[in-house]
Amino acid sequence: MNTKHTVLVVDDQPENLAILGELLETHYRVKVANSGQRALHAALSEPRPDLILLDVMMPDMDGYQLLARLQESPATRDIPVIFVTAKDRAEDEERGLELGAADYITKPIKPVVVLARVRTQLENKSAKDWLKDQNVFLESEVLRRMHDNELIQNASLHALATLAETRDADTGGHIFRTQSYVELLGGALRRHPRYQGQLSEEQLKMIVRAAPLHDIGKVGIPDQILRKPGKLTADEFEIMKTHSQIGGDAIALAMQRVRDADRSAYRSLGTPLAFLEVARQIARSHHERWDGSGYPDHAQGEAIPLAARIMALADVFDALTSARVYKKALPVAQAVADITAASGKHFDPFLVDTFLELQDDFARIAHDFADER
């Protein structure tokens, strides 16, 4: 038998403690207590008991009351309890088991019966403890692998976004700054009652993760336009504008491939399709304008997906406060004034109001992660 098991015997009669102690001590580590209060202390003291043999009829705190106290504490509620008592009526046994005792033994005890019942309960507890440890391990392993997968996915997303951005020599830290602005603005919106129903924590995480893909469509723009060291002509700008449709269409194609591979994917939030839909909305619609004058779909007002409206403001703020070969970076105060003036025209007015509350944080990110020139 496992000599590491500890059994706590609780009885107010010294002779009963002696009988049970002598019976058990050749097989187990035995602790004794002659009252409910001392039993509670013993149950919390090292070595912690793996099993408790408990008398029912004790002064001050009887066995039923002690069992209730043990069950109240997270530290002791999982310790199995066997009632060992002279209360031998069927209804007494039923009551003890209904209150949560693992077993019920009547006095006078039969040594063979006690040892068999004790062994059975200790084996059961060992099995439960093993399963609990396995579950804890499996949960931690699942969390670790999910974290690893998220790191890999984020790295892959940034690699894709950087692939597009590296073809544009002027973008620098644009990906990191805009993602930070999106997270800042989205977080503030999520805390507002107006958006609590449509911007869950999971939805915001997907928006932040998808933000680096907003200009993925630039991979389809010719170098002579994308890398032109100056302002674009009207015709060149029309070609540049197609990057939002190119990006949206590319992600839509990826979504179709996910559907083809897993027909159930579209049915649950958090699947690749849910994330890809957010990315598609951002890539396609981040150049739409609140008044309907944007592109490619001339969407207006709240018909523009919220993720794209958030991205639009973050993207423009970064464009205004970043230097290009054909322009200097605007001071943050001027960028704030320009965005404020475009409220209700280019931008969702509520988002602009929220942005104004966060302008110092936007300024800090712009300063701390400014491109080196």
Residue 364: is it exposed, middle or buried by C-beta count within 10 angstroms (0-12/13-18/19+)? middle
pLDDT at 251: 86
Q: Which region among 50-59, 225-234, 292-301 has the lowest average model confidence (pLDDT)?
A: 225-234
Most confident of 135-139, 179-183, 191-195, 325-329: 179-183
> 267 falls in which pLDDT band (50, 70, 90)?
very low
Mean residue pLDDT across the chain = 87
**Per-residue pLDDT at 297 exceeds 70:** yes
The pair of structure tokens assigned to 367 is 């300063």
What does the pLDDT average to over 301-320?
Answer: 97
pLDDT (tens digit, 9 = 90+) per residue, 132-172? 878 777 777 766 766 665 655 555 565 566 555 555 555 55
Q: What is the set of domains in the chain, with CATH numbers?
A: 6-135 (3.40.50.2300), 166-368 (1.10.3210.10)
Residues of the chain with pLDDT > 90: what percent? 65
Most confident of 57-71, 86-100, 284-298: 284-298
pLDDT at 121: 94
Edge-to-edge strands of the sheet including 51-54? 29-33, 6-10, 51-54, 81-85, 103-106
What does the pLDDT average to over 90-104?
Answer: 92
Residues 6+ apart with CB under 8 A from 301: 290, 292, 348
Integer Cα distance of 57 and 67 in angstroms = 12
pLDDT (tens digit, 9 = 90+) per residue, 12-27? 999 999 999 999 998 9
pLDDT at 168: 56
pLDDT at 162: 57
